[in-house]
């Protein structure tokens, strides 16, 4: 069978069932993309998986994971200044990190053109919030295309590339979780021509590129002047689609976009009456001409959009300005601002607005009765068997007193906030823990303040906070949970591969640095106790390779023999430390209190052996 990577760089057209995140990589190849950068984060990391499936020597473009989203955007921008068409991709909250750079892009003439792919996360499936980045795109005045399916992801990337190259601008491709992960049969085109040569054509003459004082305003004028041309492009390419309904004597219409449009079509399917739908493909700037025509030809219009009421407000204002006598409806209550617009949600919205359109759903709604569906047991998030973070938390907890304060950061180690460890009492975003801990340490002589941070996060956004702690002499203990990878998002490489954290911290002048493997639990407890006794910044580097990554690689080796631990029944006195305070999911507690081991889960790492007071756990060979 042909490998994914080979398929993605085929010259000839082909059809394939793919995820949105895969479809976009084929589009990158067809569009002659020359530089791609990223920092990992759901829902977009599979874009990198697809890119990495193309062997480096065959890959038609340069790809890197940058240290964070801001730097990734800067690298892509710099490459495009040289004339290379570039793309950067990251997750929703990644835009917050990239923002200082991102907001400037609209001011710039970008000779090579550039696409910024942002994976928004309505429903906060894998993010700490569900921010609607359409608000930010508006502020930056960048054109935004929003596909509703993998086929459109492919098509819209090609459109975005065309617009970006034609106008020398950055164009945003806004994806959302469902669109990234849905699968659909997509017909791909041909790869025409050779790989475009890399360019080195930067010239300040293409600017201005220094947005200072009066020039910043001149550049803003130029960016505003591009908007009518972008709108004309949207119209020419028919990016908005008019889907004609049937049998609706009331002349009702829906203006929608992205997943909400797909869900609406699902919900309306099979009904006798169906309103017209205007699906916006370019969500900023909105093609006002098309919207005005739609408003004029309908008596009632529902604006159906996930998250915020951005288009609703814009369309209401448009109708007011143009004195169009149409009733416009949108969000009804707070719930309408929350979560993904999946078919069940859209059904509820329609039942509130035009119940007659979804009458045919009464029977099928019964068919969807959740009680009738197979029950899926709840699976709370937890650390993997053998995870070094578990050993770390077990050991660190022994060093802490009840009143001590623990600050979490983002990554697999965030799960330390859950029982039985309950470490990490506050969390904001990546790299925030040293700063928050510093604030908590002010005027605080009684309680130790301990902050956690992962190694990818350390480089991503942790360093400024650490440096701040150091030069402002804050009194905290920072625990770096070093597992050698960006684990939570799927084991992407990070700067720690080249730059040892300990040397870097020493180079900063930090005097109190302790380091050990997290499986050495009593040493780690001693280190944390000693670190907390320091007045000022102390750092404990708690190391252990990510065992999920390690065992995956191990299983691929020839002659691999699975290992697991076993319980010596005679020695076990049912203290249950292994399940209750260590909390490894491989242990099974039977109804009579006796303990067993789930061999399918256990990886035989033996990190649990030291936690049993009776020494009743042994490696089974
Ligand atoms: C600004 C931002 N970018 C990306 C992410 C996605 N993300 C969540 S956890 C994580 C990785 C953390 O890796 P690391 O700090 O090494 O901790 P680990 O998961 O390995 O324990 C990333 C990239 C995010 N939440 N916020």
User: What φ, ψ does residue 541 adopt, rounded to 5°?
Assistant: -95, 110
Question: Which of 619, 620, 617 lies closest to 568 in space, CA to CA?
Answer: 617
The whole-number pLDDT of residue 380 equals 73
Question: Which of 495, 239, 478, 246 lies closest to 357 in space, CA to CA?
Answer: 246
> For the chain, what percent of residues have pLDDT higher than 70?
97
Instruction: Encode pLDDT of 420-442 as tens digits.
Output: 999 999 999 999 999 999 999 99
Ligand 1 centroid to residue 550 C-alpha, Å: 19
Q: What's the CA gap between 268 and 404, in Å, rounded?
A: 56
The whole-number pLDDT of residue 124 equals 95
The whole-number pLDDT of residue 194 equals 80
Ligand 1 centroid to residue 429 C-alpha, Å: 9
Atom of ligand 1 nearest to the CA of 40: 23
User: What φ, ψ does residue 174 adopt, rounded to 5°?
Assistant: -90, 115
Ligand 1 centroid to residue 488 C-alpha, Å: 6
Q: What is the pTM of this model?
A: 0.95
Average pLDDT, the chain: 95
Ligand 1 centroid to residue 66 C-alpha, Å: 13
Ligand 1 centroid to residue 336 C-alpha, Å: 29
pLDDT tier for residue 214 given thresholds of 50, 70 and 90: confident
- Mean pLDDT over residues 360-388, rounded? 71
Ligand 1 centroid to residue 51 C-alpha, Å: 20
How many helical (H) and strand (E) elements, i.e. helices and strands, does the chain have? Answer: 22, 23
**CB of 486 closer than 6 angstroms to any ligand 1 atom:** yes
CA distances from 518 to 90, 440, 540, 546 (A): 31, 26, 11, 11
The whole-number pLDDT of residue 396 equals 98
Atom of ligand 1 nearest to the CA of 68: 3
Q: What's the CA gap between 557 and 570, in Å, rounded?
A: 36
User: What φ, ψ does residue 91 adopt, rounded to 5°?
Assistant: -90, 175
- Mean pLDDT over residues 545-557, rounded? 92
**Candidate of 40, 455, 486, 547 to mutate for ligand 1, largest count of ligand atoms within 8 Å of Cβ:** 486
Q: What's the CA gap between 237 and 231, in Å, rounded?
A: 10
User: Out of 239-243, 432-436, 490-494, 556-560, which region has the weakest mean confidence (pLDDT)?
Assistant: 556-560
Other residues' Cβ atoms within 10 Å of the Cβ of residue 241: 14
**Candidate of 69, 454, 490 to mutate for ligand 1, largest count of ligand atoms within 8 Å of Cβ:** 454
**CB of 457 closer than 6 angstroms to any ligand 1 atom:** yes
What are the residues facing 328 on neighbouring strands?
301
The whole-number pLDDT of residue 50 equals 98
Question: Which of 119, 163, 121, 120 lies closest to 142 in space, CA to CA?
Answer: 163
**CB of 454 closer than 6 angstroms to any ligand 1 atom:** yes
Atom of ligand 1 nearest to the CA of 461: 1
| Three-state DSSP class for residue 448 | coil
Instruction: Encode pLDDT of 138-184 as tens digits.
Output: 999 999 999 999 999 999 999 999 999 999 999 999 999 999 999 99
Question: Which of 71, 65, 93, 88 lies closest to 160 in space, CA to CA?
Answer: 88
- Mean pLDDT over residues 3-15, rounded? 96
**Candidate of 94, 133, 386, 411 to mutate for ligand 1, largest count of ligand atoms within 8 Å of Cβ:** 411
Ligand 1 centroid to residue 605 C-alpha, Å: 25
Ligand 1 centroid to residue 484 C-alpha, Å: 13
| Statement: residue 373 has pLDDT above 90 | no
| Statement: residue 75 has pLDDT above 90 | yes
Atom of ligand 1 nearest to the CA of 96: 1
Atom of ligand 1 nearest to the CA of 483: 20
**CB of 97 closer than 6 angstroms to any ligand 1 atom:** yes
pLDDT tier for residue 365 given thresholds of 50, 70 and 90: very low
The tokens describing 373, both together, are 């569906």
Q: What's the CA gap between 486 and 218, in Å, rounded?
A: 42
**CB of 41 closer than 6 angstroms to any ligand 1 atom:** yes
The whole-number pLDDT of residue 382 equals 87
Ligand 1 centroid to residue 411 C-alpha, Å: 5
CA distances from 242 to 172, 233, 261, 277 (A): 22, 17, 12, 6
Ligand 1 atom 13: residue of nearest CA:
486
- Mean pLDDT over residues 583-597, rounded? 94
Ligand 1 centroid to residue 568 C-alpha, Å: 39
User: What φ, ψ does residue 26 adopt, rounded to 5°?
Assistant: -60, -40
Ligand 1 centroid to residue 544 C-alpha, Å: 17
**Candidate of 489, 493, 545, 548 to mutate for ligand 1, largest count of ligand atoms within 8 Å of Cβ:** 489
**Candidate of 464, 488, 494, 497 to mutate for ligand 1, largest count of ligand atoms within 8 Å of Cβ:** 488
User: Out of 144-148, 259-263, 356-360, which region has the weakest mean confidence (pLDDT)?
Assistant: 356-360
pLDDT tier for residue 418 given thresholds of 50, 70 and 90: very high
**CB of 40 closer than 6 angstroms to any ligand 1 atom:** yes
N- to C-terminal Cα separation, the chain: 37
Ligand 1 centroid to residue 489 C-alpha, Å: 6
Q: Which helix (H) or strand (E) holds 254?
A: strand 252-256
Ligand 1 centroid to residue 153 C-alpha, Å: 25
- Mean pLDDT over residues 222-248, rounded? 96
**CB of 487 closer than 6 angstroms to any ligand 1 atom:** yes
According to the 3-state scheme, what is the secondary structure of 370-388?
HHHCCCCCCCCCCCCCCCH
The whole-number pLDDT of residue 369 equals 57
Tokens 């720690």 identify what position?
Answer: 496
Instruction: Encode pLDDT of 289-335 as tens digits.
Output: 999 999 999 999 999 999 999 999 999 999 999 999 999 999 999 99
Question: Do 44 and 120 contact (CB within 8 A), yes or no?
Answer: no
Ligand 1 centroid to residue 369 C-alpha, Å: 37
Question: Which of 259, 287, 37, 341 lies closest to 143 in space, CA to CA?
Answer: 287
- Mean pLDDT over residues 587-597, rounded? 94
| Statement: residue 471 has pLDDT above 70 | yes
Ligand 1 atom 1: residue of nearest CA:
94
């Amino acid at each position: 069978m042909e490998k994914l990577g080979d398929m993605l760089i085929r010259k000839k057209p082909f059809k394939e069932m793919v995820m949105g995140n895969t479809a976009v990589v084929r589009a990158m190849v067809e569009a002659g993309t020359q530089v791609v950068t990223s920092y990992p984060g759901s829902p977009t990391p599979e874009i990198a998986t697809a890119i990495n499936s193309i062997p480096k020597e065959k890959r038609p473009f340069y790809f890197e994971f940058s240290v964070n989203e801001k730097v990734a955007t800067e690298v892509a921008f710099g490459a495009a200044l040289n004339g290379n068409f570039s793309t950067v991709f990251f997750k929703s909250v990644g835009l917050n990190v990239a923002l200082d750079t991102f907001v400037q892009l609209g001011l710039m003439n970008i000779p090579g053109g550039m696409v910024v792919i942002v994976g928004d996360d309505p429903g906060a499936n894998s993010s700490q919030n569900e921010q609607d980045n359409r608000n930010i795109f508006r502020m930056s005045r960048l054109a935004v295309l929003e596909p509703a399916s993998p086929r459109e992801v492919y098509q819209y990337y090609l459109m975005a590339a065309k617009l970006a190259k034609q106008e020398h601008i950055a164009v945003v491709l806004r994806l959302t979780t469902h669109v990234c992960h849905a699968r659909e049969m997509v017909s791909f085109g041909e790869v025409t021509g050779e790989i475009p040569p890399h360019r080195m054509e930067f010239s300040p003459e293409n600017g201005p590129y220094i947005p200072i004082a009066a020039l910043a305003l001149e550049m803003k004028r130029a960016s505003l002047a591009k908007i009518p041309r972008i709108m004309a492009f949207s119209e020419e390419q028919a990016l908005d689609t008019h889907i004609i309904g049937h049998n609706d004597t009331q002349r009702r219409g829906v203006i929608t976009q992205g997943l909400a449009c797909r869900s609406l079509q699902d919900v309306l399917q099979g009904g006798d009456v169906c309103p017209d739908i205007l699906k916006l493909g370019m969500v900023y700037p909105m093609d006002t001409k098309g919207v005005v025509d739609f408003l004029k030809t309908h008596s009632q219009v529902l604006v159906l959009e996930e998250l915020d009421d951005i288009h609703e407000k814009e369309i209401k204002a448009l109708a007011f300005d143009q004195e169009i006598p149409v009733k416009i409806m949108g969000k009804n209550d707070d719930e309408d601002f929350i979560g993904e617009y999946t078919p069940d949600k859209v059904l509820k919205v329609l039942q509130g607005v035009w119940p007659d359109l979804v009458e045919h759903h009464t029977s099928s709604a019964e068919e969807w009765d959740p009680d009738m569906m197979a029950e899926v047991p709840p699976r709370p998030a937890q650390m993997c068997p053998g995870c070094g973070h578990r050993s770390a938390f077990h050991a660190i907890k022994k060093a802490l007193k009840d009143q001590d304060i623990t600050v979490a950061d983002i990554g697999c180690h965030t799960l330390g906030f859950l029982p039985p460890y309950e470490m990490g009492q506050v969390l904001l975003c990546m790299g925030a823990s040293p700063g928050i801990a510093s604030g908590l340490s002010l005027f605080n002589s009684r309680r130790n303040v301990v902050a956690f941070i992962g190694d990818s996060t350390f480089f991503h956004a942790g360093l400024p906070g650490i440096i701040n702690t150091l030069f402002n002499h804050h009194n905290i203990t920072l625990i770096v949970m070093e597992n050698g990878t960006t684990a939570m998002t799927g084991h992407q490489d990070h700067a720690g591969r080249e730059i040892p954290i300990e040397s870097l911290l020493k180079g900063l002048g930090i005097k109190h640095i302790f380091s050990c493997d997290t499986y050495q639990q009593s040493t780690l407890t001693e280190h944390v106790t000693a670190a907390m006794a320091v007045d000022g910044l102390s750092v404990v580097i708690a190391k252990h390779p990510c065992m999920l990554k390690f065992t995956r690689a191990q299983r691929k080796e020839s002659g691999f023999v699975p290992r697991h631990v076993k319980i010596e029944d005679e020695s076990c006195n049912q203290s249950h430390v292994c399940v209750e305070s260590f909390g490894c999911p491989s242990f099974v507690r039977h109804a009579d209190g006796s303990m067993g081991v789930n061999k399918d889960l256990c990886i035989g790492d033996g990190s649990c052996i030291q936690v049993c007071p009776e020494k009743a756990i042994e490696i089974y060979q």
